[in-house]
Amino acid sequence: MSETKVAERLDISVATEGTTEEEYKYIGKDFPIRDAYAKVQGKAIYTSDIKMNNMLYGKIIFSTIAHGIVKSIDTSEAEKLDGVVAISTCFDAPDKEFNSGLRFVNHKMKPDERIFNQHVRYVGDRIGAVVASSEKIAEKAIKLIKVEYDELPHVFEVKEALEEGAPEIHEGGNLLGEVISKAGDSEAAIAGAAHVFEGEYRVPAVHHYAMEPHSTLADWDGDKLTLWTSTQNLFAFRIILSDILNLPINKVRIIKPTVGGGFGGKVEAVTEPVAAHLAMLVGRPVRVELSRKECFISSRTRHEAIVNVRTGFDENKKMVGLEYHVLGKAGAYASATLNVLGGMSAKAMILYKTPNITFHGKGVYTNTPIGGAMRGYGSPQIMTGVELHMDEVAKEFGMDPMELKMLNLPDPFDAHPKGGTLGNARIKDCLERGAELIDWENKDRFDNSGTVKRALGFAAAVHGNGVYPKHIDYTVIKLTLHEDGSFTLNTGNQEIGEGNTTMLMQVAGEVLGVEPMSFNLVESDTELTSFDLGTFSSRCTWVSGRSAKLAAEMMRVQMLEKAAQKLEKDPSELKLLAGEIALTDGTKTGLTYKDIAIYVQQELLEGELFVTKTYYSEANAGSYGAHFADVSVDTETGEVAVHNFAAVHDVGKAINPLATEGQIEGGVQMGLGYALTEDILIDPETGMVTNAVTKKYPIFRSNQMPDIMIDFVEEGEEPGPYGAKSIGEIATVPTGAAVVSAINNALGTDLRRLPVTKERILAALAAKQ
Amino acid sequence: METININVNEREYEIDAAYEKETLLFVLREVLNLTGTKKGCGTNDCGACKVLVDGKPVNSCVLMTKKAVGKKVITIEGIANDKELHPIQESFIEKGAVQCGFCSPGMIISAKALLDNNSKPTREEVREALKGNICRCTGYVKIVDAVLDASKKMNA
Ligand code: FES
Ligand code: FES
């Protein structure tokens, strides 16, 4: 029977049969991440742990000015240095433009950067690289290189960049593009509203700070290019490299070793084009690893943004219109800016319930580090804006913000303002449960007579599940049954440390009745696995998980058919039972998975039993969440302490509760930094990042973390596998607004700019007096 | 060639004396191929490179190798006992303290240093002891859980 026929069949007869929730063996159970055993012993191999014979080290030469043209690069002194093998610059490297955040062939993303750029557009732009026998020598060589620039005027802030006469960073001006999305008529609705509010909120550029810096090892054998790289966008990098290096796609192989975190930063090609070019240049393996400082400056940032929110309410405090006007700082290159704005435009439609919503975003070039994909992909920016705004509206109305939000947030299956429904949108459940956990009812319980003021705050938010319907979103799962009854699961789905492959094994294990960790996993090698869109857009559970379920169901159908043939029964009389074939009532037949494999191979002469499922996502859903913060502020020092935290998420079904909690806890850590401490600071004179070192970029530490109470709303959402939907990105989206809301409640302020530093708190308090 | 000896994980290594002026992290990773110890910042700020030097947790990215001569260095590769994981490693697995795992070696080293000195730490003490180790994935919650769990096991 052909695969499609099997697939057709399973959708009617097999997919619906089987276990009920109480009977799940592996779904909803805690599993440590698949490779934890190797990781705790230091045995997991990350890119920079790989060494090859003859390997060389590449170091990038970065622009030291914010804007200008490289006139000349004098490498003569550097070349004399012992151990320097080659130097390549913008004057000799391939110069085809690309977009580092590309996802698939013909994906419409503006190509505007090169491996090395002669027209430099920020401090940190790549202008060349040195290959040497050690990193140290390469670094030394760079110090000997003299670069002459023709400097051009620069601009660092979005509003100035849009002014008439601003220095033009790219041909055609600094407005990279606009994203406009409308439902109903917000202008008319707000014009006719009983109450109108408007506020401008600002959120910073932050660094992903994946603990593993960007790193790539490239090898060129004269015919084929092979890369080992720390990525979450494997297959697209193959396309980028094939394009800019003029190689057939089948001559570029990319392998993803263990990845030490991504958070969106590794969706974009940063070290890959450089390492690949250098390896081809010298014909030897070359490793290019960024230092932390280089990661701060020259990888990608979350988009700094100015978010203007306008709302209209009727006399019953019901929202009648909502508008977002967003200026997103693209930085020096287009990268994913317009896609991030697109992401915002989609989420803008599905948090508050009004038929009249406008999103208008502008992506603006500036001479600053490049804004790119980052966990939440636009949602943290607009959700922070709208949630702080709603607090202010509630204050104006003299209402509890909980009451105002409950009045205006959607119920499950409410209409989507652009047609269809919102799906099983469970934001109200999240708010109710979170309110209970943090005891919102008694929010005024703190004694605030002293100089330290304590209060609660909260925020609601939403993020998506995959890319559908924006563009194609698919993955491929292949399952093979081996001669001893064990299975291999083969996938291009890219694990970056969050546990998505553990999840795939749980799903397949549930369907096939085998212990999930017994699968052999083949993962993320463009030569050995099939295309997967990448680990972003909160798509792994929703799309790859679904694909794993369908593939396993296809395998089950095949196995039962073969077993039935062997036993001279009808497949409908049989089921899989932990490695054996049983009658539907559970009586064992004596036939095992191993017997089936051997029967197929040696009696039916059909070789190995395998199935391949290519699954295109055909739906999207909102993953909602609410965070609650209990915060105190010292009004004399501006010091903030976060005491307690509650996070409730609409996850559909937590396939792996342990990992789901882990996502939320990590998301909160990142969100606390967004709220309070993290900000990539730019020198207003030179455009240099002034805090590109961990000491000056405070990341939340273990001793600063609050206790986190977590709850899941598990009401299921189709067609997520077992009703599951995403958690990875939404986990960090509401945090920023929740914390700032608590600070505002403690101080009676309307702080609108993140991060809320001590200085900003003290300034706000001074202004109040 | 002039050489120096360093003792790592109870083993003597003889290396080129020129490496004296390199960081211990460099020597571990690039010379001895002990790549379990990680480089997260290189500036003494994140703890990914933590090793034990005479029992004390030290960031190896800023320790010159010369300073490790004559001392006992323990890296993540030396934590497990033969084939048996150390209880801290077990607890890290069981409690879900590992996600991407890049901070795990350094975290486990810091945890070991703590538990060797204070076998029954409070939650606050664990949090304090780990503050030099950044984790970007877990929010530290399950890491702290794991250390407390390991302490229980080790006292049992
Ligand atoms: S790598 Fe040594 S402290 Fe970060
Ligand atoms: S597990 Fe990824 S940095 Fe800690």
Q: 3-state class of A324 per DSSP?
A: strand
Q: B23 vs chain A: nearest CA distance in angstroms?
A: 12
Looking at the structure, tell me whether residues B20 and B68 fall in a common domain.
yes
CATH 3.40.50.300 assigned to A47-152+214-289: no
Where are any strands of DSSP class E within A409-501? 452-463, 474-481, 487-491
Structure tokens at A392: 């202010």
pLDDT tens track for A58-82: 999 999 999 999 999 999 999 999 9
- Please report the sign of the dihedral spanned by the C-alpha atoms of residue A529, residue A531, residue A535, residue A540: negative
Contact at CB, B96 and A32, closer than 8 angstroms: yes
Looking at the structure, tell me whether residues B100 and B143 fall in a common domain.
yes
10-residue mean pLDDT series, chain B (156 residues): 96 97 97 98 98 98 97 98 92 98 98 98 98 98 98 96
Here the CATH number for the domain that contains residue B18 is 3.10.20.30
Query: Which residue, among A30, A31, A33, A40, would best test binding to B if mutated, counting the most B CBs under 10 Å from its CB?
Result: A40
Looking at the structure, tell me whether residues B65 and B14 fall in a common domain.
yes
In whole angstroms, give the CA distance from residue A271 to residue A289: 7
* Intervals of CATH 3.30.365.10 along chain A: 3-30+472-615, 305-465+621-768
Please give the mean pLDDT across all residues of chain A.
96
From the CA of A292, the nearest ligand is 1
Looking at the structure, tell me whether residues B62 and B96 fall in a common domain.
no
CB neighbour class for A599 (10 Å; exposed up to 12, middle 13-18, buried from 19): middle
pLDDT tens track for A565-597: 999 999 999 999 999 999 999 999 999 999 999
Here the CATH number for the domain that contains residue B148 is 1.10.150.120
pLDDT tens track for A496-539: 999 999 999 999 999 999 999 999 999 999 999 999 999 999 99
What integer pLDDT is reported at residue A20 of this predicted model?
54
Give A47 Cα–ligand 2 centroid separation in angstroms: 16
| Cα→Cα distances A247→A5, A58, A222, A250, A736, Å | 38, 21, 11, 8, 44
Percent of chain A with pLDDT over 70: 97
Q: Residue B84 — φ and ψ, nearest 5°?
A: -90, 130
pLDDT tens track for A290-304: 999 999 999 999 999
Structure tokens at A609: 């039993």
Give the residue among A541, A53, A528, A34 at the shortest CA–CA distance from A256: A528
Task: State the Cα angle at A646 between A644 and A652, rounded to 5°.
Answer: 165
Beta-carbon contacts of B77 under 8 Å, excluding residues fewer than 6 positions away, are A41, A42, B9, B34, B36
Question: What is the pLDDT averaged over residues A554-565?
Answer: 98
Q: 3-state class of A63 per DSSP?
A: coil
Query: Would you say how long chain B is, in residues?
Result: 156
Give the residue among A250, A262, A174, A172 at the shortest CA–CA distance from A211: A262
Q: 3-state class of A577 per DSSP?
A: strand
Give A100 Cα–ligand 1 centroid separation in angstroms: 28
pLDDT tens track for A271-322: 999 999 999 999 999 999 999 999 999 999 999 999 999 999 999 999 999 9
Reading phi first (left if > 0) and then psi (alpha if -120 to 50, else beta), residue A20 is in beta
- The domain defined by A305-465+621-768 folds into Aldehyde Oxidoreductase; domain 4 (3.30.365)
* Pairing label, strands A319-331, A357-365: parallel
What integer pLDDT is reported at residue A198 of this predicted model?
98
Residue with tokens 């949108």: A425
Q: Which of B54, B78, B102 is the last residue of a domain?
A: B78
In whole angstroms, give the CA distance from residue A322 to residue A195: 12
Residue with tokens 């190689």: A247
Query: Is A435:A441 a contact under the CB 8 Å cutoff?
Result: yes
CATH 3.30.365.10 assigned to A3-30+472-615: yes
Give the neighbor-by-neighbor strand order of the sheet with A609-616. A520-523, A487-491, A474-481, A609-616
Q: Which of B29, B46, B78 is the last residue of a domain?
A: B78
Give B46 Cα–ligand 2 centroid separation in angstroms: 11
Any CB–CB contact under 8 A between A708 and chain B?
yes
Residue with tokens 């509203």: A193
Residue type, A335: S
Query: Which residue, among A47, A211, A215, A302, would best test binding to B if mutated, counting the most B CBs under 10 Å from its CB?
Result: A211
Give CB contacts under 8 A, 24+ apart, made by A415-418.
A415/A355, A416/A349, A416/A350, A417/A183, A417/A184, A417/A349, A417/A354, A417/A355, A417/A356, A417/A357, A418/A183, A418/A349
Question: What is the pLDDT averaged over residues A340-363?
Answer: 98
Task: State the Cα angle at A235 between A232 and A241, rounded to 5°.
Answer: 105
pLDDT tens track for A716-747: 999 999 999 999 999 999 999 999 999 999 99
Q: What H or E segment, with its residue span, contains residue B147?
A: helix B141-155
Give the residue among A615, A655, A726 at the shortest CA–CA distance from A506: A655
Report helix angle A657-676 to A735-747, nearest 10.
Answer: 50
- pLDDT band at A604, cuts 50/70/90? very high
Question: What is the pLDDT averaged over residues A412-425?
Answer: 97
Q: Which of B78, B103, B136 is the last residue of a domain?
A: B78
Structure tokens at A303: 């988009």
Q: B69 vs chain A: nearest CA distance in angstroms?
A: 22
DSSP structural state of residue A385? H
What integer pLDDT is reported at residue A141 of this predicted model?
98
Looking at the structure, tell me whether residues B50 and B74 fall in a common domain.
yes
Question: What is the pLDDT averaged over residues A259-266?
Answer: 98
In whole angstroms, give the CA distance from residue A401 to residue A404: 5
Percent of chain A with pLDDT over 90: 97
Minimum Cα–Cα distance from B89: chain A residue? A40
Give B134 Cα–ligand 1 centroid separation in angstroms: 9
- pLDDT band at A769, cuts 50/70/90? confident
- B chain contacts of residue A261, beta-carbon cutoff 8 Å: 99-100, 102, 136-137
Give the neighbor-by-neighbor strand order of the sheet with A146-151. A119-120, A68-74, A146-151
pLDDT tens track for A650-664: 999 999 999 999 999
Contact at CB, B93 and A662, closer than 8 angstroms: no
DSSP structural state of residue A622? -
Give the domain extent around B95: 87-155
Query: Which residue, among A31, A35, A39, would best test binding to B if mutated, counting the most B CBs under 10 Å from its CB?
Result: A39
Please list every protein residue whose CB sits less than 6 Å from any atom of ligand 1. B 39-42, 44-49, 59, 61
Nearest to B100 among A43, A259, A702 (CB): A259
Residue pairs spanning A and B at CB distance below 8 A: 182
DSSP structural state of residue B66? G
Give, using CA atoms, the residue closest to atom 2 of ligand 2. B100
What integer pLDDT is reported at residue A13 of this predicted model?
33
Looking at the structure, tell me whether residues B41 and B19 fall in a common domain.
yes
In whole angstroms, give the CA distance from residue A506 to residue A549: 9
In whole angstroms, give the CA distance from residue B138 to residue B143: 8
pLDDT tens track for A1-35: 333 333 343 333 333 334 455 689 999 999 999 99
Which atom of ligand 2 is nearest the CA belonging to A212? Answer: 3
In whole angstroms, give the CA distance from residue A743 to residue B85: 45
Nearest to B99 among A292, A666, A694 (CB): A666
ipTM: 0.99
pLDDT tens track for A632-650: 999 999 999 999 999 999 9
Residue A372 has pLDDT above 50, yes or no: yes
Contact at CB, B98 and A32, closer than 8 angstroms: yes
Question: What is the pLDDT averaged over residues A205-234?
Answer: 98
* Intervals of CATH 3.90.1170.50 along chain A: 47-152+214-289
In whole angstroms, give the CA distance from residue B22 to residue A289: 18
Residue with tokens 């030396």: B78
Q: What H or E segment, with its residue span, contains residue A362?
A: strand A357-365
* Pairing label, strands A195-203, A707-713: unpaired
Number of domains chain B contains: 2
What integer pLDDT is reported at residue A193 of this predicted model?
98
What integer pLDDT is reported at residue A444 of this predicted model?
97
What integer pLDDT is reported at residue A21 of this predicted model?
56
Minimum Cα–Cα distance from B139: chain A residue? A666
